[in-house]
C-alpha cells in the first residue's frame, strides 16, 4: 500500500502521516533508543520531533541518525525566551543532533500573553530564530503552545511556518479555533499529545481519531519498537471511525472529562505560585519522563510548591471545564510523594 504523504503547510515538506515524538526515549537506554528511532525511519517515518528540555533525547536521536542515508526532517524546541538564549540553544541542538542544520525550530510552550509579548519583543526569542535562519542554521521558524487562543494570535502574526498544538479526542478545541486559520495562512500543524500525554486509556483509538484529519501531523511519543510498528500499522490500515469506536470515544470522554487538564492555564495565577497545569498532570509526567528528570530542580520545586496548596478554590472558579482543581492538586501531590520517595 502506497502511503499518502502530508504537506506540512508552507514548508512544502512532505512527511509521513505521523512524526516520531522524542519525549519517551529519555526513559530507555541509548542503545535501545537508537534501535527504536532507526526502526521508525526504516518504516517510513521521516519527521522526528524533540526538544532541548527532553534531557538526552536530542543526543540519542543524533546518534541514531549516524550512517542513515534517508532524508529525515528534524524538529526541536527551546524554552529560551530571549534572542541570545534561543540562539545558543539552536547551537546546542545542532551539536547534540550532529547536524549542520535543523529543519524546524520551535519556541517551546508559548502558553500565555506575557510569554508571547516577551518572545516577540525586539530582544525576544523570535529574533534569535530569525538570526539562526539567516545564518542557515535552521530552515523554518515554529512555535508550540498549549493554549488555543494564544495559538490564534501566533498564527495571525504570519511569522511562523509551523505550529504545535494539543489535539486528541478529549482536547478538540483546536478543530474550531486553530485548524481553519492555520489552513488559511498555510501554517503546518504538528499535533502534540495525540494520546493525551499518555493518559488516554485507549491509545490506538486516540491516534486513529487524530489520523482522521488529513491536514495535521500527529507526533506520538514512542519508546519501543513494538509501539513504532503498531503506530505505523495503524497508518497503513487507517479507516473511518466505526459507530462502536465513536461510542467508545464518548464513553472515555465522559469518564475522563472531570479530571483531564487541557493546560489552558486560565486557572492562573495561583496565590501560592503553584504551576497548576503541571502538577495536576503528574500521572502523564510519570509515564513519559524518567524519575531522575522529575527530581531535577524545576519540576521538584513545583512539587514542593504544590504541597503548600491552601485549597482556597480561586483556581476552580476560573476553570472553563469546571475541574475540581484543589482536589486534583491534592491527589497528584500524593501520587508524586509515592513516586519520588
pLDDT in tens, 105-157: 999 999 999 999 999 999 999 999 999 999 999 999 999 999 999 999 999 99
Instruction: Please give the pLDDT value at position 1.
Output: 65
Instruction: Please give the pLDDT value at position 29.
Output: 97
CATH architecture designation of domain 6-246: Alpha-Beta Barrel (3.20)
Instruction: Please give the pLDDT value at position 201.
Output: 85
**In the predicted model, is pLDDT for residue 257 greater than 90?**
no
CA angle 258, 290, 226 (to 5 degrees): 85
**In the predicted model, is pLDDT for residue 264 greater than 90?**
no
Instruction: Please give the pLDDT value at position 319.
Output: 92
Higher pLDDT, 120 or 290: 120
Q: Nearest CA to 59 among 91, 95, 35, 87? A: 95
Q: How far apart (Å, rounded) are the C-alpha atoms in residues 60 and 29?
A: 9
The answer to whether the CB of 232 falls within 8 A of the CB of 207 is no
Cell triple for residue 233? Answer: 500499522
Domain ranges of the chain: 6-246, 276-340
Arithmetic mean of pLDDT, 212-237: 97
Instruction: Please give the pLDDT value at position 293.
Output: 86
What region, left, alpha or beta, does residue 96 occupy, with left being phi > 0 and alpha being psi -120 to 50 degrees?
alpha
Instruction: Please give the pLDDT value at position 106.
Output: 99
Burial string for 195-209 (b: 16+ CB within 10 Å, else e) reads bbbbbbebbebbbbb
**In the predicted model, is pLDDT for residue 298 greater than 90?**
no
This prediction's pTM: 0.90
Q: Nearest CA to 91 among 101, 81, 106, 103? A: 101
Mean of the per-residue pLDDT values of the chain: 96
Distances from the Cα of 170 to the Cαs of 37, 121, 125, 206, 244, in angstroms?
28, 34, 31, 9, 17
Residue with cell 488516554: 200
Cell triple for residue 228? Answer: 513504532
pLDDT in tens, 78-110: 999 999 999 999 999 999 999 999 999 999 999
The pLDDT-based confidence of 53 (bands split at 50, 70, 90) is: very high
Amino acid at each position: 500500500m502506497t502511503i499518502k504523504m502530508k504537506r506540512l503547510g508552507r514548508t512544502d515538506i512532505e512527511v509521513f502521516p505521523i512524526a516520531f515524538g522524542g519525549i519517551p526515549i529519555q526513559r530507555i537506554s541509548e542503545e535501545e533508543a537508537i534501535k527504536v528511532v532507526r526502526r521508525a525511519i526504516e518504516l517510513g517515518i521521516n519527521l522526528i520531533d524533540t526538544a532541548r528540555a527532553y534531557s538526552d533525547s536530542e543526543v540519542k536521536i543524533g546518534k541514531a541518525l549516524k550512517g542513515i542515508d534517508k532524508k529525515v526532517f528534524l524538529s526541536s524546541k527551546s524554552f529560551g525566551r530571549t534572542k541570545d538564549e534561543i540562539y545558543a540553544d539552536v547551537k546546542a541542538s545542532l551539536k547534540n543532533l550532529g547536524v549542520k542544520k535543523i529543519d524546524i525550530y520551535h519556541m517551546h510552550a508559548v502558553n500565555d500573553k506575557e510569554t508571547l509579548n516577551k518572545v516577540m519583543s525586539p530582544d525576544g526569542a523570535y529574533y534569535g530564530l530569525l538570526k539562526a535562519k539567516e545564518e542557515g542554521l535552521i530552515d523554518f521558524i515554529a512555535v508550540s503552545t498549549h493554549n488555543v487562543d494564544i495559538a490564534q494570535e501566533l498564527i495571525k502574526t504570519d511569522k511562523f511556518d509551523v505550529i504545535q498544538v494539543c489535539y486528541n479526542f478529549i482536547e478538540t478545541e483546536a478543530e474550531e479555533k486553530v485548524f481553519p486559520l492555520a489552513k488559511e495562512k498555510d501554517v503546518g500543524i504538528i499535533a502534540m499529545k495525540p494520546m493525551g500525554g499518555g493518559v488516554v486509556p485507549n491509545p490506538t483509538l486516540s491516534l486513529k481519531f487524530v489520523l482522521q484529519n488529513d491536514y495535521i501531523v500527529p507526533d506520538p511519543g514512542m519508546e519501543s519498537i513494538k509501539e513504532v510498528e503498531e503506530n505505523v500499522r495503524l497508518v497503513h490500515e487507517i479507516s473511518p471511525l466505526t459507530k462502536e469506536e465513536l461510542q467508545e470515544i464518548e464513553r472515555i470522554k465522559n469518564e475522563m472529562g472531570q479530571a483531564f487538564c487541557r493546560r489552558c492555564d486560565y486557572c492562573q495565577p495561583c496565590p501560592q505560585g503553584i504551576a497548576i497545569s503541571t502538577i495536576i498532570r503528574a500521572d502523564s509526567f510519570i509515564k513519559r519522563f524518567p524519575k531522575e528528570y522529575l527530581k531535577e530542580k524545576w519540576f521538584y520545586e513545583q512539587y514542593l510548591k504544590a504541597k503548600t496548596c491552601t485549597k482556597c478554590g480561586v483556581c476552580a472558579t476560573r476553570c472553563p471545564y469546571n475541574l475540581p482543581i484543589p482536589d486534583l492538586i491534592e491527589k497528584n501531590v500524593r501520587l508524586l510523594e509515592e513516586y519520588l520517595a
